[in-house]
Structure 1
Amino acid sequence: MAVQKQTYKIVLVGDGGTGKTTFIKKILDGIFITEYNATCGADVSLVNFSTNYGIDLTFEVWDTAGQELKSKLSDAYYIGAHAAMIFYDVTSSITYTNFPHWQRRIVDVCFGETQIPIILCGNKVDCSNRKVKEKMIARTLKSGNLMYTEISAKTNYNFEMPFLALARKLTGKDDLTFVSNLNLKPADLPIDPKSVEDSNKFMQELAAVSENINLQDDEDFL
């Protein structure tokens, strides 16, 4: 049976300094199809995955190339996007506070008859001074119909999770897995086991807080 190929445009946004470019440039075999597109202010690269369904996925990942520091990105950056990753720095509350700005831009330009999937990525979990609390994220996820994951671009921790979450949404296959690993640059530093433990604990607490919020909302409705 012939391999099915699917291509999706993914916009990568978030405040400057949240690790977006570090994240995407970690892929050694990524194909950079434009070093810089001055029209819409973006670096674009192709990231490929093979899956257990015999589907080869290609993500066209559009990185802001630092333009978020200079001016509002043009609509051309967002038009035609199938999904989005929004990065924030778990050690910087302001980068999380600014998250709604990026979400609104995606919604304003990209949402037509259907909503495109969006995943919120908490980067820099290798750092210990976390500033953003579980309840803040839980409220955001509930109000925005979002997915959430935590990563460390420097250590390559959970690197494929944003791609995997979006791939499952875009294909409609909840049990889809990647059967080929990305060829990544070596980690800048090893992930501290304590950081992994703390991130896992945070995700568990986030799930519990989210459940409590859902129960409270149900009670308010009743």
Structure 2
Amino acid sequence: MDILWQYQFRIILLGDSTVGKSSLLKRFTDGIYSDVADPTVGVDFYARSIDIEPGVKIKLQLWDTAGQERFRSITTSYYRNSVGGLLVFDLTNRKTFDHVREWHREVSEHILPHHMVYILIGHKSDLSRDRKVTRDEAEQLAAELGIRYVETSAKCNSNVERAFELLTRDIYELMKMGEISTRDGWDGVKSGLTAKVLYPAEEEAEREKSCNC
């Protein structure tokens, strides 16, 4: 039986083929890493839950998309039903970094008039000698896109947990502010059987102060 969750977020991983999206997901969901990975065909599915704060469990539906152009018509159908996206590039492959804007633009256009919460991921940080993209360049791109930037390594298990948790927290905070909410016909965010009534942080603090229980 699945552990009760308050909310379910659908997250999609985006980026060129071979940047390591599948490796990130397997490390995050199963705690394993393999140097050999078969290319993703179409879309693969993963799941894991995170305790985002006391009494609030978020179930993450994680969709691993194929980076090859021939699968693009399949993967675009998943954009609209996702609330968050990890834009992943390979720190040792300049071309994958140059393509981040294209991925961001393509997804953003497909989900209009709605928006997606993104985080930029520079992957394979363990291969520092082969690095082709500087941290400053990546941080500048992230700033231009208005999103966070995190460098990860599935091989060394560096910042993998942090990347997914940051994105989850950003979505959750936007829900508290009323900028994201569940809506009919959309699977990006779903409420569980024990959904919590959300309040902005300031209002939550005031409610706790006034509580006599």
Q: TM-score, normalised by structure 1?
A: 0.66
Q: Deviations over 1:98-151 (max 9, x none)?
A: 1111101221112424x3210011110111221112342233122211111011
Following TM superposition, by how much is the alpha carbon of 1:159 offset from its aligned partner in structure 2, in angstroms? 1.4
Contact 1:11 1:81 in 2 (8 A): yes
- What is the count of residue pairs matched by the alignment? 161
Q: Which residue of 1 aligns with 2:80?
A: 79
1:107-122 superposed matches below 5 A: 107-113=108-114, 115-122=115-122
Contact 2:5 2:59 in 1 (8 A): no
User: Where do 5+ consecutive residues of structure 2 fail to align?
Assistant: 33-39, 175-213
Identity %: 25
SS of the aligned residue for 1:112 comes to: coil
Change (3 A) 1:80 1:163: same
Contact 1:89 1:122 in 2 (8 A): yes
Change (3 A) 1:109 1:169: same
1:42-191 superposed matches below 5 A: 42-64=43-65, 66=66, 68-74=68-74, 75-113=76-114, 115-128=115-128, 129-172=130-173
Distance across 1 between alignment mates of 2:54 and 2:112: 28
Contact 1:9 1:83 in 2 (8 A): yes
Following TM superposition, by how much is the alpha carbon of 1:4 offset from its aligned partner in structure 2, in angstroms? 5.5
Q: Which residue of 1 aligns with 2:30?
A: 28
* Alignment RMSD (CA, Å): 2.3
Contact 1:18 1:88 in 2 (8 A): yes
Higher relative contact order (CA 8 A, sep 6+): 2
Contact 2:10 2:81 in 1 (8 A): yes
Contact 2:50 2:57 in 1 (8 A): yes
One-letter amino acid matched to 1:146: I
SS of the aligned residue for 1:154 comes to: coil
Distance across 2 between alignment mates of 1:101 and 1:82: 19
One-letter amino acid matched to 2:30: L
Q: Deviations over 1:156-181 (max 9, x none)?
A: 111111211111111118xxxxxxxx
Change (3 A) 1:124 1:86: same
Distance across 2 between alignment mates of 1:5 and 1:49: 11
One-letter amino acid matched to 2:169: R
Contact 1:90 1:131 in 2 (8 A): yes
Following TM superposition, by how much is the alpha carbon of 1:53 offset from its aligned partner in structure 2, in angstroms? 2.9
Contact 1:48 1:56 in 2 (8 A): yes
One-letter amino acid matched to 2:153: S
Contact 1:86 1:118 in 2 (8 A): yes
User: Where do 5+ consecutive residues of structure 1 fail to align?
Assistant: 31-36, 174-222
Distance across 1 between alignment mates of 2:119 and 2:73: 19
SS of the aligned residue for 1:100 comes to: helix
Q: Which moved more, 1:21-30 or 1:162-171?
A: 21-30
Q: Which residue of 2 aligns with 1:14?
A: 15
Q: TM-score, normalised by structure 2?
A: 0.68
Which of structure 1's runs of 4+ aligned residues deviate more than 3 A?
Answer: none
